[in-house]
A = this chain, B = another copy of it.
Amino acid sequence: MCQLLGMNANTPTDVMFSFAGLACRADEHKDGFGIGFFEERGLRHFIDHHGARSSPVAELVKHYPIKSLNVVAHIRKATQGRVALENTHPFVRELWGRYWVFAHNGDLKGFVPRLHGAFRPVGDTDSERAFCWLMQELDKAHADLPTIDELTCTLAELLPLPARHGTFNLLLSNGQALWAHGSTKLHSLERRHPFGAATLADEDLTVDFAARTQPGDRVAIVATEPLTAGEPWSAFAPGELRVFVDGECRLRRCG
């Protein structure tokens, strides 16, 4: 099963700790990894079809403190599509002068929508096809970049369609917000003042966030499985959509 990791914060924050937690689960996920960091409107997009345990690109991500408000990461276990760079999540497209980053965990059987718009898959995964369809439908629904709440409404209408075809845990960000849709397995956590220490569930690594944060800082983390022990991770209901803005969950919509 692939692993998803998303972050949304109200102050530029690095994800080295959480990414280390994700990467240490990479033993069974040797089919590539990817991560997208927004910095204002700009995007850094690192992908590698080597696994996150062995990739020099993953080493860079683990040790270079890239600070971002919105991050989408994915460690791949290929189920559909060849192991190839063009099939590595997250995928990126531009719409309304914003980059959009998408990562998916799950399989969609027989979801072959008509793609008549400006978005076509480069690789051969069901995930990228669903992303292109989503971009096409967003583009049809709004003439220009809508508000986060309007986008959330449109996404809440669109996401059940592919979700009927299988498992559709996903992360989507345009640098303003992080949308997370749970189908079978997704969890989120919000960290805020007073910050404590957190210990990775799988590895002997503890970070004291209190020493590295200000009282007003807020960070939300979304991950396939809880990454830390002893923190209040909240499981998504099947079909639930959560949107994170400025480091907290602004809205939950159950499907």
Q: CB < 8 Å: which of B57, B63, B85 contacts A64?
A: B57
- When C-beta atoms are compared, the residue in chain B nearest to A32 turns out to be B42
Does chain B have a CB within 8 A of A60? yes
**How far does the alpha carbon of A232 sit from the alpha carbon of B81 in the complex, in Å?**
44
Q: Does A99 contact B (CB under 8 A)?
A: yes
Chain B residues with Cβ below 8 Å from A57 are: 60, 64
Closest to A59 in B: B60
Flag if A42 contacts B86 (CB, 8 Å): yes
Interface size grouping (class) on chain A: 35 or more
Known: A98-B122, A122-B98. A41 touches B93 (CB 8 A): no
Q: Report B-chain residues with C-beta under 8 Å of the C-beta of A88.
A: 42
Q: Determine the residue in chain B with the shortest Cβ distance to A96.
A: B120
Could you tell me the dominant secondary structure of chain A's interface residues?
mixed
Q: Which of A4-12, A43-51, A181-189, A243-251 contacts B (4 or more CB under 8 A)?
A: A43-51
Given the interface pairs A42-B86, A60-B60, the reply to whether A94 lies near B123 with Cβ below 8 Å is: no
A84 close to B122 (CB less than 8 A): no
A121 nearest CB neighbor, chain B only: B97
37-90 of chain A: CB within 8 A of chain B: 39-49, 56-57, 60, 63-64, 84-88
The distance in angstroms between the C-alpha atoms of A42 and B60, with both chains bound, is: 20
Give the B-binding residues of A (Cβ under 8 A).
39-49, 56-57, 60, 63-64, 84-88, 92-94, 96-99, 117-123, 139
